Amino acid sequence: MSLEQLMARQRDTINRVLEQHLQNYHSPAPQLQQAMRYALVLGGKRVRPFLTYSVGEICGASAQVLDHAAAAVECIHAYSLIHDDLPAMDDDDLRRGQATCHRAFDEATAILAGDALQTLAFELLTAIELQLDPQRQVQMLRALSQASGSRGMCGGQALDLAATARQLTEAELEQVHQLKTGALINAAVQLGVLSGSEEAQQYLDDFSQFAALLGLAFQVQDDILDVTSSTEMLGKTKGKDEAAQKSTYVTLLGLEAAQVKLTQLHQKALQALQRIPYNTQLLENFAEQLLTRDY
């Protein structure tokens, strides 16, 4: 099976899992549930769930645990996109090729949908039916909560907002992206390892190093695509960061140097995988495709 076929199969899997969880999630507020589904299920590359599934399978995790872990990561990601697009944040009208949640519904409903998806993520990880050691379950909760909060994604968004109309140094920009984008990608990989066998836990740091480098490279590629691609290809507004006077790797380094940095980060990520004595070819192939995409 090719990488494209495997990714398509796993997208189908996570979409089915997300639909099932939402069907079992009975809210007394129907419009809120509609907004949650709109933001969670409709569209998306599913990068983070793919990493959770792929790493978890390498580490010997059960399908049931991976379904919950991958769904939890995607709930956090969807919540972050809803809030990122709000007028008080990035103020965007387009996401995944369709109207942003606050445009499709209203601002208050979008905020509540994001809040509800965030809490659903932790509900999924604490499901009593999961056949998982309680201590490992706590580690998974800790990994996802740290990646989502002020020391992770929220902290990165705060730094990003504070940097508007201010030229950042490369170190400052790296910190923003390690937190805003990289932290959740790292959590997706960590959840895959933590879902797995006891033996696999000794390689958690190596998997985490791969994820940190991949996450930063992913953002460098996003900055490059914001210049070289189109709104139609991206599914979101092209040139938004430049219009908002935000620092990017392209504005800071120039396009050619940003492409060099992307290549360097990619090579370091592959080197981290080489320290793991499992078959990580799938992750190598995925990194290659992710970092050479045009959307």
Whole-model pTM above 0.85? yes
Q: Is residue 235 within 8 Å of residue 81, measured between CB atoms? A: no
Residue 247's nearest CA partner among 162, 153, 183 is: 162
φ and ψ at residue 50, rounded to 5 degrees: -60, -45
> CA-CA distance, 6 to 41, in Å (whole number)?
19
Sign of the C-alpha dihedral computed for residues 73, 53, 214 and 46 taken in this order: negative
Per-residue confidence in pLDDT tens, the chain, 295 aa:
788 888 999 999 999 999 999 988 888 999 999 999 999 998 788 999 999 999 999 999 999 999 999 999 999 999 999 999 999 998 999 998 899 999 999 999 999 999 999 999 999 999 988 888 999 999 999 999 999 999 999 999 999 989 888 889 999 999 999 999 999 999 999 999 999 999 999 999 999 999 999 999 999 999 999 888 766 665 656 566 666 678 899 999 999 999 999 999 999 999 999 999 999 999 999 999 888 887 7
> CA-CA distance, 274 to 269, in Å (whole number)?
9
Q: Is residue 37 within 8 Å of residue 22, measured between CB atoms? A: yes
Q: Is residue 283 within 8 Å of residue 189, measured between CB atoms? A: no
